[in-house]
Chain A
Amino acid sequence: HTDISSDRPLRPYDEALELWSTFQQKTQPLSQSLSSQLRLILAPTQSTKLSGSFRTGKRLNIKKIIPYIASSYKRDKIWMRRAIPSKRAYQILLCVDDSSSMSDENRSSSGHLALESLVMVARALTILESGQIGVLGFGEDVFVAHSLTDPSFSSHDAGARVLQKFTFASQGTDMVKLLRATIDNFREARLTQASSPGGEDLWQLALILSDGLVQSRDHARLRPLLREAMEQRVMVVFIVMDDVRDKKGHSVLELKEARFGADGMPVVRRYLDSFPFEYYLIVHDLEDLPGALAGVLRGWFAEVNA
């Protein structure tokens, strides 16, 4: 496990409890909306494909007719039926950026927006009631704030204990460590799930809630890890917390980076141009999140089921 957390600073329990119940109440309609959109996406898709060989069924399998006659009508499994769609189980890791670029100290409200989003999404998944939810925190290091096998977020207490662990004081943002820990966590979780029945169609999703500020030199190091995640059938969605309501021009969408080129001349380009995540959303306002997230997931499912 990646938990190295005994000396981490903690938010006072009472404050965390208050925060959880305030956010839960405030985001209740959004949680409901996200939950019902996810239910539609996760519902087993009605299979329209006919297959197999049965004594009764929906349509004759033409290829079986001649052997049927040749066998004096003994080999009579000549019918096809609709394949039975399988039910999807899911494991979701919410990965929350605990680094200090997210904090008020750096004039950022991303931390606040990330915690609100965490509560909203965790509640939506709890209402959905058919999978496991975990929470990872990351900064200089990665820690497990809520493991996939911990009890769900139906009680405020479970939620408060998670919020306690986020103080936005970490002095680095190590996305490489986060992806490594996410892939390892899911690999382990898949093994435990596979031993129980119905573990075949397991859907593993990591949602990263962050201001999106990663050292650009790490972008290239993230690519092979994102490929590895894809090969492990882990979907990674980056949700950029970009609260810019009263700060015009401060959006990560506008953010540029300056370097000196080989000729020694300054070069300025858009930060997001080298951002390595294939699936990412920019959220300015919590209200946008349920629809945007459902949209990305719907697109992804359409792609993998195509």
Chain B
Amino acid sequence: MDEPMHDAPGAQVKVTFTTNEADLQLPEEKRQLLVPADIRRYGLSRILNSDLMLDSGSIPFDFLVNGSFLRSSLEDYLNSEGLSLETNLTLQYVRSLIPPVFEASF
């Protein structure tokens, strides 16, 4: 039970995932998650797609936070809003409209 994770952990943020996409709902017990604070859109997308979450292959997702698209790391977003790591952030995920070829730049 106590063995360490593979990597040295950094700061974490607690997020709550929501979506309006009927076919991509998470079961209730998976909607809350602690994620690395330096995570960005692409990392969040990979976590959501993983077999432990939606098990949805590799659908590119975008994330809305307080009504606007997440364009930075969560940590940078919190800093720019004057919020701390104590914040429980609600992230609404939507299918990305950005062509996958640009994925790596976000």
Contact = CB atoms under 8 A, between A and B. Distances in A.
Contacts of A220: 4
B34 A216 contact: yes
B35 interface: yes
A249 B88 contact: no
A170 B84 CA distance: 9
Nearest to B82: A171
Contact of B27 (A249, A274, A276): A249
A254 B86 contact: no
A262 B7 contact: yes
A261 B30 CA distance: 20
A241 B14 CA distance: 17
B32 interface: yes
B59 interface: no
Contacts of A261: 5-7
A217 B77 CA distance: 21
Interface in B62-106: 84-88
A217 B11 CA distance: 7
Contacts of A217: 8-12
A259 B5 contact: yes
Contact of B29 (A249, A260, A274): A249
Majority secondary structure, A binding face: mixed
B2 A266 contact: no
B46 interface: yes
Which bucket holds chain A's interface residue count?
Answer: 35 or more
Interface string B1-34: 1101111111110100000000000011111111
A213 B88 CA distance: 11
A99 interface: yes
A37 interface: no
Interface in A78-113: 99-101, 106-108
Interface string A40-82: 0000000000000000000000000000000000000000000
Nearest to A223: B2
A171 B86 contact: yes
A257 interface: yes
Given A259-B36, A267-B6, A171 B84 contact: yes
Interface string A264-275: 011111010110
Contact of B33 (A256, A265, A273): A256
Nearest to A171: B84
A255 interface: yes
Nearest to B49: A266
A274 B12 contact: no
A172 B85 contact: yes
Contacts of A254: 29, 32
B56 to A, nearest CB: 13
Contact of A268 (B6, B36, B52): B52
B7 to A, nearest CB: 6
A164 interface: no
Nearest to B83: A171
A96 B86 CA distance: 16
Contacts of A266: 46-47, 50, 52
Interface string B40-51: 000100110010
Given A255-B32, A260-B7, A271-B34, 8 more contacts: A101-B86, A217-B10, A257-B35, A258-B34, A259-B5, A259-B9, A261-B7, A262-B7
**Among all A-B residue pairs, the 10 with the closest Cβ atoms:** A249-B28, A171-B84, A257-B34, A268-B52, A254-B29, A249-B29, A262-B6, A100-B86, A101-B86, A106-B88
